[in-house]
Structure 1
Amino acid sequence: MYFGYILYVCSSVLMLINVECVAAKENKMIRPKVSSSYCIEKFSCGGNHTNSCYCDSLCETMGDCCKGFKTNKTLVNIPAKTQYSCYKIPKVSVRNAFGALVVSACPENWNDDESRTLCEHGKERVEINNTYVSSGGIIFKNLFCAFCSGVLPSVYSFRTLQVCTNDSLDEELKKVERCNDLYNKNAQIDSIRTCPLNVKKVCTISTTDDLSKNCTDGYYGLVYDSFGNMYKNIYCGLCNNISENDLSCEKDKVNAGDPYVFTILINSTNTSSNGDTQMYATVTALVISIVSLVITLVVYGLFPALMNLPGKITFFLALTLLLAQLLFLISSETEQIPWLCIAVAVLVHFFFTAAFCWMNVIAFDLWMTFSNRKFDCGDKMKFCYYNVYTWSVPAIIVSIGVILNFSEKTGSLNPQYGKKECWIFSENAKLLLFIGPLALFKLFDVVAFSCTVYYIRKAKREASFATEGKGNVCLFFINLKLSLIMGLTWTFAFLAKYTNNDILWYMFIIFNALQGFFICVCFVCTKQVFNQVRKSFTNNLHVQSNDTKSSSV
């Protein structure tokens, strides 16, 4: 009953998403014309102008302001436009079409050739950990670029900067010079200002003077042709021999939407230079996990004898994790449909949180079982209580996120579902609505299992209990193995986020994305399941044999 109903619901939801994604690829509205109200709004400060144009303190200097931008105040110590370059920074997750805007040159009137050389001709590979961010949020390629631009505190002399950038010098000397104060990793990541890496800003064919002038000096609003090539505005597209009907403010889906790396659940910025490898690892692990979860659900659905209270808990854990991982895997395919991207982000948030709650239930149920505490209610009522917890807690958390997402003046607590990926964009909201609850869930699991281990050891001193509870002990160690695997994978995430260690990120991706595989091994590859399969197979053979005899008679 459970299996058939749930399979119907899941297939209906996935079919709806698939229909919308196919429609997105075929429907012209997914690539709206540049003259449409959608694109006009996208080119203004009041619309969703992400990576189309800008409405920040630098747009006047860079000449890439959206329509309707109004200057708030006079900016001080802003480097000239000629000092900026657009870099593809290895340790920052920016789509292939976009890089980060970085000050990489000294002012033209700067006279110190030594510092100019160190700024402009130093190491060309820009790494986010070695950049400097001014109080105004501008990223500088290195300390010398900040020095010649006059934004460093006066206590840092040129000699001090030479000490701070010399890898061969003693760390204690660098501490004396307060070198570490020059680098603020969080400020660096938060201050990233995107810029197009390959955008066409001039005409390549002979055209009228007005069209050429509108291309070079006209408003800024990125448009794309059907091959994904980027142009500064519609006029640059037209004077590059692209018809207006082939131009859109949205990029073709075939050139975008790579699967997400699993690390974005914890860390919005992919801090690894091996983004493609991590993506392949994520997809491979998720496919294995999803197949394993389907096998688990089918097995439990086909054999009612497995659907006792622990079996039902396992079933719904597998179900919620399957939906969470499956939606996460296909979420990048919904990017071009804003409302669907937001909906998928909310559902991924809900089902991952629900999976954590079912793990809580496993931990609690084992704790109560081995502590020998009896409930007045039976298993049926107990399962109802478990359902209330596992569905209401995620619903409350996600409802808060949705309310904040569509409320005005929520600031950094606005999750911004679907802003960059189909997931939570704001780091503060992610901490409040996902990472924080996750830490509490895992803390409860550790406490519950610690108490259960205590009662297991106590029970070993009671021979009668040890004999009678042999089956429960086996069940406990199966669940213990699963709980440790799930708990430790998220520990890898916390450690990787804190240390920015690639090995820990890979461990998090592989072990956490393979959770469904571990569930299948722990709950399906057991003697109880094998006996059920063998019994069913034997009964079928017996029935077929009787049918054959009856027909022969």
Structure 2
Amino acid sequence: MNLIGALFFGQVLLLFGGNKTNNENACTTIAAMAHYAWLATFAWMNALAFDLDRTFGNADNLQKVSVGKKSMFLYMIYAWGSPFLIIIPCLVLHFCQCTQFNFKYGSASACWISDGTANLLTFGVPAAIFLLVNAILFGHTVVGIRSTKRATARLHQDTSTLKRTTQELLIYIKIASLMGFTWIFGYVAAFTGIEALWYIFIILNSLQGVFIFISFMCNRRVGLLWSEKLRLTGMIATQKSSTSGTTDRHRASSAPGTQMTGYCSSTQSDLHQDGSEQQLKVEMKV
């Protein structure tokens, strides 16, 4: 959810605020916030890459590693806090203009970092470092998953090799959708000048949220959990309605001249997950 929030924040600022160049102060604010949002997005992708590698990179840790409140808190400090290490110096450079380094938020054409070299150093290089680390962690995660699959292959001999390979490939695609690898097209397009790559980059990068939704929300486990959740909500609503009706009947039975026997019938149902929640956590990671 943190990654989705940062990604949504960055996309909205670029789509609806990137052209507010008629107001200098507003443009500066939007540019700085967008810069922070996209750095936070890369930081969250890096945090997820680390967590996936920590969980699946070593087959021995698959059942041992879990993300507790402490780990999540550390991830949040890292992902939401580390961009300030770049944003604060950039703001100082923007307002003081005390060095020969040409850095400024906002320009006549867009509310972003105005100078190309400054954009490369303060955004392109950090993003490239995140992507490089993500690629290394992704490779190690794939090796760990492959080892686990080979170790459990004999338990799934009734499944065809093609089906197992397809399922494994889908796992890798899901993980890759969290790593931001679509930005590689942007780097290649910027350094090669191939215009077609810009179109591929824009389309794929703008659909990253859609890819994440399809990969981690459109599956059977999530559907079953939603079904159970809605069923439980309906049962609670029915119970409340039944309780309210019983109270009304009880009041009516206490009125003079009225002979009516009221009773309260309520049904309680526990939501038996049988490991579904833990399975969902694994599914959301893979």
Q: After TM superposition, is the score higher than 0.5?
A: yes
Q: For residue 186 of structure 2, what is the aligned residue in structure 1?
A: 493
1:346 alignment partner, one of 13, 32, 52: 32
Q: What is the distance in 2 between the residues matched to 1:378 and 1:507? A: 35
Compute the displacement of 1:351 (Å). 0.5
CA distance in 2 between partners of 1:331 and 1:316 (Å): 21
- 1:340–1:386 Cα change, 3 Å: same
Give yes or no for contact 1:397–1:433 (8 Å, CA) kept in 2: yes
Q: Is the contact between residue 414 and residue 429 of structure 1 (CA under 8 Å) also seen in structure 2?
A: yes
Q: What is the CA deviation profile of residues 225-248 of structure 1, one whole-angstrom value per residue up to 9, with x for unaligned ones?
A: xxxxxxxxxxxxxxxxxxxxxxxx
- In structure 2, the residue matched to 1:418 is 106
Map 1:249-288; keep pairs closer than 5 Å: none
2:5: which partner in 1? 319
Instruction: Tell me the equivalent position of 2:128.
Output: 439
Partners of 1:492 and 1:408 lie apart in 2 by 33
CA contact (8 A) 1:320 1:351 kept: yes
Report deviation, 1:477: 3.9
Aligned to 1:387: 76
Instruction: Report the TM-score when normalising by structure 1.
Output: 0.39
SS at match of 1:461: helix
Confirm or deny: 8 A CA contact 1:332 1:422 kept in the other structure: yes
Aligned partners of 2:178 and 2:212 also within 8 Å: no
Q: Secondary structure at the match of 1:406?
A: helix
Tell whether 2:206 aligns with 1:507: no
Note if contact 1:496-1:504 (Cα within 8 Å) is conserved in structure 2. Answer: yes
Change (3 A) 1:465 1:340: farther
The residue matched to 1:334 in structure 2 has which SS?
Answer: coil
1:522 aligns with 2:215: yes
> 443-452 or 334-343: which moved more?
334-343
The question of whether the paired residues in 1 share the 8 Å contact of 2:36 and 2:87 is answered with: yes
Distance 1:324 1:387 in 2: 17
Contact 2:19 2:111 in 1 (8 A): no
Distance in 1, Cα, partners of 2:12 & 2:155: 41
Q: Deviations over 1:170-224 (max 9, x none)?
A: xxxxxxxxxxxxxxxxxxxxxxxxxxxxxxxxxxxxxxxxxxxxxxxxxxxxxxx
**Does the CA contact (< 8 Å) of 2:138 and 2:176 recur in 1?**
no
Q: Which has the larger radius of gyration?
A: 1
Is 1:483 the equivalent of 2:171?
no
Work out the CA distance in 1 between the residues paired with 2:71 and 2:88. Answer: 26
Aligned pair partner of 2:95 in 393, 396, 406: 406
Identify, as 1 or 2, the structure richer in helix. Answer: 2
Quote how far apart the aligned CAs of 1:396 are.
0.5
In the superposition, relative to structure 1, how do residues 522 and 492 fare at CA in structure 2: closer, same or farther (>3 Å)?
A: same
Residue deviations 1:480-514, cap 9 Å, x none?
14136x31x21111121122222111111111112
Q: Deviations over 1:129-170 (max 9, x none)?
A: xxxxxxxxxxxxxxxxxxxxxxxxxxxxxxxxxxxxxxxxxx
SS of corresponding position for 2:106: coil
Quickly say closer, same or farther: Cα 1:483–1:549, change in 2 above 3 A: closer
Give the residue type in structure 1 aligned to 2:125. Answer: G
- Residue in structure 2 matched with residue 328 of structure 1 by the alignment: 14
In structure 1, C-alpha distance between the alignment counterparts of 2:65 and 2:199, rounded to whole Å: 46
Q: 1:540/1:327 Cα in 2 relative to 1: closer, same or farther (>3 Å)?
A: same
Contact kept, 8 Å, 2:6 with 2:40, in 1: the verdict is yes
One-letter code of the match for 1:317? L
Counterpart contact for 2:30–2:111, Cα < 8 Å? yes
Quote how far apart the aligned CAs of 1:464 are: 9.6
Identity within the alignment, %: 31
Post-superposition offset of 1:435: 0.5
Q: Deviations over 1:448-474 (max 9, x none)?
A: 01001111122223239989xxxxx89
Cα 1:533–1:429 change in 2 (3 A) is same
Give the gaps of 5 or more residues in structure 1.
Answer: 1-314, 468-472
Q: Which has the higher contact order (CA 8 A, sep 6+)?
A: 2
How many residue pairs get matched?
232
How far apart, in 2, do the equivalents of 1:466 and 1:357 lie? 38
CA contact (8 A) 2:55 2:66 kept: no
Q: Is the 8 A contact 1:331 1:422 kept in 2?
A: yes
Distance in 2 (alpha carbons) for counterparts of 1:454 and 1:408: 48
Which ranges of structure 2 fall in alignment gaps of 5 or more residues?
157-167, 247-261, 263-286
**Would the aligned equivalents of 1:459 and 1:465 in 2 still touch at CA under 8 Å?**
no
Read off the aligned partner of 2:230 and give its amino acid letter. Answer: F
> Normalising by the residue count of structure 2, what TM-score does the alignment of the two structures yield?
0.72
What is the Cα-based RMSD across aligned positions, in Å? 2.8
Whichever residue aligns with residue 339 of structure 1, its letter is: N
**CA offsets 1:422-465 (integer angstroms, 9 cap, x no match):** 10011111111100011111001110010011111222232399
- Aligned counterparts of 2:226 and 2:55: Cα–Cα separation in 1: 27
Task: State the shift of 1:535 in Å.
Answer: 1.0
Contact kept, 8 Å, 2:20 with 2:27, in 1: the verdict is yes
1:456 aligns with 2:145: yes
Counterpart of 2:229? Answer: 536
- The answer (yes or no) to whether the contact 1:460–1:466 under 8 Å persists in 2 is no
**Do the aligned residues in 1 keep the contact of 2:189 with 2:197 (CA within 8 Å)?**
yes
Distance 2:154 2:102 in 1: 53
Aligned counterparts of 1:474 and 1:500: Cα–Cα separation in 2: 32
Task: Give 1:522 deviation, angstroms.
Answer: 1.8
